[in-house]
Structure 1
Amino acid sequence: MFSTPTHTVYTVSRLNKEIRGVLEQGFSSLVLTAEVSNFITPASGHWYFSLKDDKAQIKAAMWRGNNRHQRYRPTNGEQVTVRARVSLYEPRGDYQLIVEHMEPAGEGQLKQEFDALKMRLAAQGLFSSAYKKPIPKIINRIGVVTSATGAAIKDILTVLKRRAPQLEVVIYPAMVQGKEAHLHLINQIQLANARNEVDVLILGRGGGSLEDLWCFNHEQLAHAIYQSTLPIVSAVGHEIDTTISDYVADVRAATPSAAAELVSPNSQELHNQISRLIANLYNAFKHQLNTQNSIATQWGHRLNLCHPRNQLNQQSQRLDELQLALHQAMQNRLHQHERMINQSIASLMRKSPDKALANSSHQLQLLQTRLSQAINQQLQAGKNALAIHASRLDSVSPLNVLSRGYSITKNAQGEVIKSISQVNVGDIITTELVDGQLISQRQ
């Protein structure tokens, strides 16, 4: 039945080629708005992606020769407006769009405005870290610029109540969405700076679309944040949301709750820190006290060594040593003379003639007399030397000074008073005399 001349026999390649021609002629150029998905860029530099709405999708391609002139590069999920022509990819028979031009649609336009403002403010230096103010280490009162009924203030108050219930919170209510919202935010920031009643400001709101958060991308608000003398923490939207306020603020927090965590100390951590400081102070005081006690003990020992009583004991011990040495010398001398006498007697006994005996007896008497005189002289010399040493010791003795009518006066700390300037009216002083002490008070 297929061999009749009325039927044209197609190959798949021919069919796809002719369909491609029909599509390209029937839809030479069209404008389409859709969402980008499955966006990829291979090494060739071409863009391949899908364009879809809530009911259908179509494959699309944008050749490198067209996309290299694009200032805008799409990402998945963005709404775009494209100028394209309908075509067909013959090897697979896939129906697709060949995109010639692309631009953001809706939110994409806002993103372009956002990027342009971001670049302009960055060039003016509003994002420079050199001008960002540090968050105070000690915070007693926190200001919050946000909606008084929004989720953001509830999250902030919940976190502060848990972490630091002692902190005071001042709410500066403002609109956080709408055309006039940025003016409300600016007025409240300026009001907080004029009152100067808080240590730090949190500026923020809960999450939302780019349009919902757009008031936080206003240039006037950026300058108000930059000019604030109070440090400002920006906490706008969810963690993935980023606004101009985040770049200008001194600190950016991912969420309002994170901002509350950032500016509030944890009560338990603060308690632990105080406990550590008290323990460190106690240990330092204990160490210092032990050091001072050790020094005091050393000085006490040195003073005790220098005490007059110890000096007297040293001199007395020396005197005892001299007396013992003198006695020993006398004994040695006596023994020496006794040996000499015994030797003389023995010699006389060997020479027993009477005359020699008589002469020897006379010499013996002379020697005994001389011996007795020598002994007396040695004893007298020892006594004289002993008396001289005793007199010298007595002359340096504080007791001897006291016996001559002198006295030693000390204050309540035991220090010797050398000048009347050391004693104030009403001070108790102690006067040491030779036979006791007198305690008196200066009038």
Structure 2
Amino acid sequence: MQQADIYTVSRLNSEVRLTLELQFRQLWLVGEVSNFVAASSGHWYFSLKDQAAQVKVAMFKTSNRNAVFTPRNGQQVMVRARISVYEPRGEYQLLADFIEPAGDGLLRQQYEQLKAKLAAEGLFAPERKKALPQNAQKIGVITSPTGAAIRDILTVLQRRAPALEVIIYPSLVQGAQAASDLTAALQHAIRRNECDVLIIGRGGGSLEDMWCFNDETLARTIANCPIAIVSAVGHEIDFSISDFVADVRAATPSAAAELVSPDQQHQLRTLLQLKQRLMQSIRQQLGQKAQLFLHQHAKLQLLHPARRLQQQQQRLDELQIRLQQAIQHKLQRQRQQLLLQQKALWLLSPEQQLKRQHLKLQQLQQRLERSLKQQLQKKQQQWQALSRELHTVSPLATLQRGYSIVFDANSTVVKSASQLQSGDKVRLKLADGDIAAEVTAVSIAPSQ
């Protein structure tokens, strides 16, 4: 058995990237911006999403420096990008080289998509186009009956071929209902089949004003119209889908009137056909050369060192973002640990211990003061009780009742009359003071 070709993951991702980038060329994509990151390297990374899906987009600074605005999350944008694969993670992504807000750009994208679709089906092919009749007798005009276009057409036809019969098929040429109104008017003209050639158009305006002439149903109705039809939409620089599918495109409504009128009609028709064939050939040649150029350019870009460098730059940006996030998380954890340690250290600091001891000392001091106060009150109450009790037996209390105490010259209390003699000096202690006296006589009472 032949040995199986075993891939490495790197080889698989590389070949998938080459396959996608060769298979898919540039494409336009519209969506809502989310997860927008402007890396320090200058590159942009974001996602485009709709209601059901999303895709990652990378826009390197060589491309985004030409952008006229910086996207923001939630903004609707349209980007032009190539499909690629970010090999380190095996994820497919878009590499954008142009970005603009959604709006006019979306209309232009829809216009280009419909144009490419109808062109691929051959609706623009010169061989499908009918020649304008050389001797037209009736001219049908599908436009607004009150617009400037019908006045210009009638003025030119009156000047060049007054005998021509003109039938107007009125229709709206602007607004949401204009496309269906134009289609209905054209179908009405086809059913009646009363004209040799038809003119459909309006004057110039903005892309939104003329958007009804880019309607797919109207384009297919024009392409299948059995009557030769001239598209005259806008001014010289304006092109619509109707211009490409019609048999002849006129730059203005006045030019369309000149084309369908007999004066030099054959020469103009031949010249226009030759011009269209030449332009178609040139476009085909340019298209083929452009496809070849894009293919060769894509192959060259795949082999260019700058592509690998872009991959590495994107990987570096991703690692840098992850590193910043990891550093921030690490710092956050360290801050939390530091706060916990500071709190623990604060609780163990001598200052806090002194504060707690001081608080405890204050509490003990308060308890001591309350205890001393209670003891003092208790002692005061005891002292007052003893004082009252002592006062009842105190000599002073006896003196208060009118008694006195006698002291001799030596300040000795005289307890008996036998201690004194006539002529002795004595001092009498009364309740409110002392009296000095002299004993004049001593009388001793007989013992009982």
Bigger relative CO (Cα 8 Å, ≥ 6 apart): 2
Superposition TM-score tier, normalisation by shorter sequence: 0.3 to 0.5
Report the TM-score when normalising by structure 2. 0.39
